[in-house]
Amino acid sequence: MVLDFVVPSPQGTSWGLGGTCVNVGCIPKKLMHQAALLGQALCDSRKFGWEYDQQVKHNWETMTKAIQNHISSLNWGYRLSLREKAVAYVNSYGEFVEHHKIKATNKKGQETYYTAAQFVIATGERPRYLGIQGDKEYCITSDDLFSLPYCPGKTLVVGASYVALECAGFLAGFGLDVTVMVRSILLRGFDQEMAEKVGSYMEQHGVKFLRKFIPVMIQQLEKGSPGKLKVLAKSTEGTETIEGVYNTVLLAIGRDSCTRKIGLEKIGVKINEKSGKIPVNDVEQTSVPYVCAVGDILEGKPELTPVAIQSGKLLARRLFGASLEKIYHTLFWPLEWTVAGRENNTCYAKIICNKLDHDRVIGFHILGPNAGEVTQGFAAAMKCGLTKQLLDDTIGIHPTCGEVFTTLEITKSSGLDVTQKGC
C-alpha cells in the first residue's frame, strides 16, 4: 500500500502522485527553464539570419497549462503502474499510532487504521517559511510557482539556494523584473568559485541582487493576480533597513523534512531534533528495525548533486590540511554562442584530481549549456576510476562543450591565463 496525501501549501496548492520532483520540482523547473531558453534562442536567431517583425511576448498561462497537462499525464502513469503491480493507492495522510499500526486520514477527515509488518518512510521535504509577519499569508514558494494561475510580475526571490537561483533565472528569462535577496552567500555547500560565476552571469542577464539583507515584514498593499506587496528588510551586518514593492515574493530559503507529524515518537523512531532528519544504518533501517527510511529525510545523505557537496570537504582539506588535490581549469566559449554574440569567457570547466591516486578525478564542475547532460557521462566515467591521463588520452568530440575536459592543461596553482584562444 502507498499512502500519498499532499498537505496543501499555505496558499492552498496541492498536487498528484509522484512527489516533489514530478509535481513541484525538477520536471516543471526544467520545462520553465526550457521556455526561458527558447526566448533566448529567439534573440539569438536574428544573428543567424532569421528575420521577423511580430512583437514577441511570453504568455505565462499558456506555458503553465502545457506544463501542468504534462505533469497530469505523469501522475496518471504512476497510478497505472501501481495498479498493474497490485499496489493499493490511498490518498490519505498516514501517522503511526502504535507499533505496526497507522491511522490514515483522507481529505474529508475520515479515519482508517491499517497494520503492516514493514514500513518505509519516504515523506521528503517541503519549503521553509521565514516566521515573520505576512509570510504565509502573502508569499509563495516553489510549491505554488509552477501552477501559479497568473504571471508573477515584478518578483522578489528570497534565498540563495539552487531553487532560488533557478527560479530567478527562468523568471528573468521571461522578461520579468527579478530581484534576489541574499542573506549571506550564494549556493551554500557548493563550490564557491562556481557559485560566484553563476551570480555574475545572472547579473549580466538582468537579475538584480540585494546582498546581506533579510526580510522582516511583508505587507499587502493591493489584492490581485498578482497584487502588490511591500517588503521591509534589514541588513545582516548593521542597522540599515530598506523597503521595496513587488507583485510576488517567492521564498526559497531551504526545506524541512516532513517527519515531525507522523507519529514517529509513538513507536520510538529517533530523529535529529534540530533538523528533523532520520538517522539510518547501512541498510536504511531506522532505530526501529521494521521501519526503513529513504530519500531527502535521511540524516547525513546528499539531497542532491553529491559531487558539488563533496567539493566543500575538499576545500576544507586544502585549506586546513596537506594539499592532496590538483585542480585543472579553463574558460570556454560554446560555438553556439559565437555568432549570436553571447559573452565569451563566461563558461567554465574545472576538475579536481587526487595527486596521491594517479591523478584520479574526484571532482567535476561545469558552468555552461546542457551542463546536466555533460555531467551525466563524466559521472559514469568517475565511477569507473577516471584519471587525468585517461581524459588526456580521450579524443574530443568536436565542436562540443564537453570536449574541453580532454584538453585541460592549466592548473589553478600555476596562475596562468585560462581565457580561450582558438576553437
- Report the CATH number that the domain containing residue 317 is assigned in CATH: 3.30.390.30
Residue 212 φ/ψ region, left for φ over 0, alpha for ψ in the -120 to 50 degree band, beta for the rest: left
Q: Which of 249, 239, 195, 184 is nearest to 218 (CA)?
A: 249
In a domain, 419, yes or no: no
Range of the domain at 280: 2-126+256-297
pLDDT of the residue at 300 = 85
Radius of gyration of the chain (CA): 24
Give CA–CA dist 130/139, Å, rounded.
10
The 10 Å Cβ neighbour count of residue 47 is 12
In a domain, 417, yes or no: no
pLDDT of the residue at 308 = 26
Cell 520553465 sits at which residue?
32
Give CA–CA dist 207/9, Å, rounded.
27
Quote the cell numbers at residue 346.
563566461
In a domain, 154, yes or no: yes
Give CA–CA dist 53/7, Å, rounded.
47
Tell me if the bond preceding 399 is cis, omega within 30° of 0. Answer: yes
Report the relative pairing of strands 228-235 and 241-246 from DSSP bridges: antiparallel
pLDDT of the residue at 302 = 67
pLDDT of the residue at 292 = 87
Residue type, 362: I
Q: Which of 71, 73, 53, 69 is nearest to 61 (CA)?
A: 69
In a domain, 351, yes or no: yes
pLDDT of the residue at 313 = 38
In a domain, 237, yes or no: yes
Ordered mean pLDDT values, 10 residues apiece, the chain (423 residues): 95 94 90 93 93 89 94 92 91 97 97 93 93 97 98 98 97 97 96 96 97 98 97 96 98 96 97 94 86 86 44 38 78 82 88 94 95 95 96 87 92 86 53
Do 261 and 250 lie in one domain? The reply is no
Tell me the β-bridge partners of 103: 95, 113
pLDDT of the residue at 421 = 57
In a domain, 193, yes or no: yes
Do 160 and 80 lie in one domain? The reply is no
Do 148 and 70 lie in one domain? The reply is no
Q: Which residues are catalytic?
A: 398
Domain count for the chain:
3
In a domain, 422, yes or no: no
